[in-house]
Structure 1
Amino acid sequence: MRPARALIDLQALRHNYRLARELSGARALAVVKADAYGHGAVRCAEALQGEADGFAVACIEEALQLREAGIQKPILLLEGFFEAGELELIDRHDLWCVVHSPWQLAAVEQARPRRPLTIWLKLDSGMHRVGFHPEQYQAAYRRLEASGKVARIVLMTHFARADELDCSRSREQLVTFQQAAQGLSAEISLRNSPALLGWPEIPSDWVRPGIMLYGATPFAQPHPLAERLRPVMTLESKIISVRELPAGEPVGYGARFVSERPTRVGVVAMGYADGYPRHAPTGTPVAIDGQPSRIIGRVSMDMLTVDLTDLPQAGLGSRVELWGKQVPASEVATCAGTIPYQIFCNLRRVPLSYF
């Protein structure tokens, strides 16, 4: 069997969820959209079901997968519904739903649910993706309140630059939210992972931890609270071939690496078809049998090459950690010019093993 695999530490996942609750003092929806950022939504939700206040997903397909697996806690649809007909499924499966557009609001008013709905009313406070404009927000709230179709409304917005701790934009968005929501009697949800870790002054009755659940920092710089997170995924494989090269020899496609000295090259069963970032350059860290090393040359579809020159004990069959407890996913992402969210979500073909 091909040795590439991803080990998923469910105890680390629970630790990170508890940290979100501890830091916020609020209730927390565990964000398990996009198959729990590549970690397996059903298994992650099962691991958290005993203590999570609820879950958040992107769309109804993801919610139904959790319900079919026996997850009974509240599930919020972060993008709401895409067609009015989905409201029947939302009602049947007792899902919570974001409303961010006038047409969705009208659909709720026309719906005939068996029981009143829980609606999270989204404000566009400055990110400018979805959400009601500030001048529309109070009227949207009043319409939901008067519709007779809604039992509970939670007020929410989303920060565009909360991962930039030296940027004033989050405070500006908070002021916009507070002005738009003034006088409305409802719970609020404002903090995702970077806002939860980096902006303790922002109030929130509900928080929405996403990337922090999986043990990766949302920040480009070190942060003391992010240091308390535990990596959940360890992506690993093994050395399947070893080459001894003299100085001056190219390695891999495009000859992007040329040996400057006699070099031992290890070939690892891992590539961009597995979701490892193709643009990870020479120097991207790996750990080989627990010892630090680096990628050399281009990442191929099914294989990549690593430097074994200073690791004489390493060789055929040696374990290679691509990211995990020893090699932070955020460092790999930075080297590849991306973010840990993407490298987790891009994972495929690699079997997940839970412990």
Structure 2
Amino acid sequence: MKTSRPIRARIAPAAILHNYRLAKSHAPQAKAWAVVKANAYGHGQWRAVEALRGEADGFALLECENAVALREAGVTQPILLLEGVFSARDVRAVIEHRLTCVVHCLEQLELLVRNGQFTAPVALYLKLNTGMNRLGFTPETLGKAWAILQQLPQVDVSLMTHFAEADGERGVSEQLERFRRMAGDWRGPVSLANSAAILRHPTTHGDWVRPGIMLYGASPFAEISAESLGLQPVMTLESAIIGVQDLVAGDRVGYGGTFTADKPMRIGVVACGYADGYPRHATSGTPIAVMGKRTQTVGRVSMDMMACDLTDIPEAGIGAPVTLWGEGIAGSVPADEVAAAAGTIAYELFCALAPRVPVSLDETATVNRK
């Protein structure tokens, strides 16, 4: 999509590959599902798949129709449906297209029994609820699940769970112990580790790990930067200054006048707002870069525009380049810092990128970029 408005997002495929390899280096004995759900966390499912097509051990996503589309496009690696099947049609697609299917409740197992005509083994991941309390079998329902599985002789079973606090102080020990109790003497394949567990809890690596946010260059830890982890940013959101205002002390900026100048200031107006996916709740002081210099936002983010402080960047005028997050010609602004200032996480920034923002590939980035 082309637009005369200066805002755009750039995606660096080489950075996705670098980050995938980094995940693999932390779990060298495991295979890795490249998680491309939610349109690859807002980066574009097909862009992520093409970046990893030659190296990914497998891809993980949600929608059966998207998995089928990957198969029809020639993707031969295993494809994991993270929420499993929702209909008889999904069951038929799992069998026909050799998809790997998470099963998290008795109803899904019964759906498979009723609608599956298994002419070849189908790979299933039995999900155990070890404390996240979203999806998964509990100790009370797991026995019945195993009983139903006996009616499906043409299946290859793996076990999985999802950690709620792999990035926090409580860690994974409690959930890991619950998993071990529920699994009993299970000696088959397991998949446990998300991005945080891959980086922090090597005892969870098992047979398959599931890197998600780390693929896209953001840190899974609030207190540790992506750069210090060796991750490379994949998405850069950039725009330009489209207006300049000179303020005197007492002047206010934006809707609601939430920012008041306490001295003479020079303010730049950026072509970016919440309709582009920038968080409306980002407060004054959120980091931004203009012409290679870090500065901060001022006032409330509006639908199509936002303001930033140009007082110490006198060379910046209309047309000056701006980096909202990522690594742009206007400077580097880690998405994690923007997210923290806005009281959210980088996951949300990436996923919220609006369809009206043009996206292009940054082919200048390389896997070995420092």
TM-score range, shorter chain: over 0.9
2:60 maps to 56
Contact 2:225 2:336 in 1 (8 A): no
Deviates more, 1:254-263 or 1:31-40: 254-263
Give unpaired runs (5+ residues) of structure 1: none
> Quick one: which of 196, 199, 207 aligns to 1:197?
199
Corresponding residue of 1:8: 11
Q: Deviations over 1:220-259 (max 9, x none)?
A: 1126885211111111001111111222111110001111
Equivalences for 1:118-157 in 2 at 5 Å? 118-141=123-146, 143-150=148-155, 152-157=156-161
The answer to which of 104-113 and 221-230 deviates more is 221-230
Does the aligned pair in 2 maintain the 1:123–1:157 contact within 8 Å? yes
**Given the alignment, which residue of 334, 337, 347 partners 2:340?**
334
Aligned to 2:38, which of 30, 34, 53?
34
Please name the residue that 1:211 is paired with: 213
**What residue number does 2:182 align with?**
180
Equivalent residues of 2:119, 2:154 under 8 A apart: no
One-letter amino acid of the counterpart of residue 20, structure 2: Y
Q: Distance in 2 between matches of 1:346 and 1:302?
A: 15
**One-letter code of the match for 2:74?**
G
1:353 aligns with 2:356: no
Question: Shift in Å at residue 119 of structure 1?
Answer: 0.4
Letter in 2 for 1:61: E
Q: Distance in 2 between matches of 1:65 and 1:247?
A: 58
- Number of equivalenced pairs: 352
- 8 Å CA contact 1:217, 1:226 repeated in 2: no
Aligned amino acid, residue 331 of structure 1: E
Indicate the RMSD between aligned Cα atoms, in angstroms. 1.6
Question: Are the counterparts in 2 of residues 33 and 62 from structure 1 also a CA contact under 8 Å?
Answer: no
Amino acid at match of 1:296: V
For structure 2, the 5+ residue unaligned runs are: 364-370
Identity %: 53
**Are the aligned partners of 1:135 and 1:180 in contact in 2 as well (CA < 8 Å)?**
no
Q: Which residue is 2:78 aligned to?
A: 74
Aligned to 2:255: 253
Q: 2:51 aligns with which of 29, 38, 47?
A: 47
Structure 2 contact 57–78 (Cα < 8 Å) conserved: yes
2: distance between equivalents of 1:12 and 1:304?
29
Using the alignment, how far apart are the partners of 1:208 and 1:270 within structure 2? 33
4+ residue segments displaced more than 6 Å: none
The 3-state SS of whatever aligns with 1:158 is coil
Q: Following TM superposition, by how much is the alpha carbon of 1:338 offset from its aligned partner in structure 2, in angstroms?
A: 0.8
Distance 2:192 2:139 in 1: 15
Q: Quick one: distance in 2 between partners of 1:243 and 1:309?
A: 10
**Cα deviations across residues 2-50 of structure 1 (Å, max 9, x unaligned)?**
1111111111110000001110121001000000000000111011010
CA deviation string 1:74-99 (max 9, x = no partner): 11100001123310112222211100
Pick closer, same or farther for the CA change 1:328–1:246 going to 2, 3 Å.
Answer: same
Q: What corresponds to 1:18 in structure 2? A: 21
Question: What is the TM-score when the length of structure 1 is the normalising length?
Answer: 0.95
Amino acid at match of 1:333: A
Q: CA deviation at 1:192?
A: 0.5
Give the match for residue 265 of structure 1.
267
The answer (yes or no) to whether the contact 1:42–1:65 under 8 Å persists in 2 is no
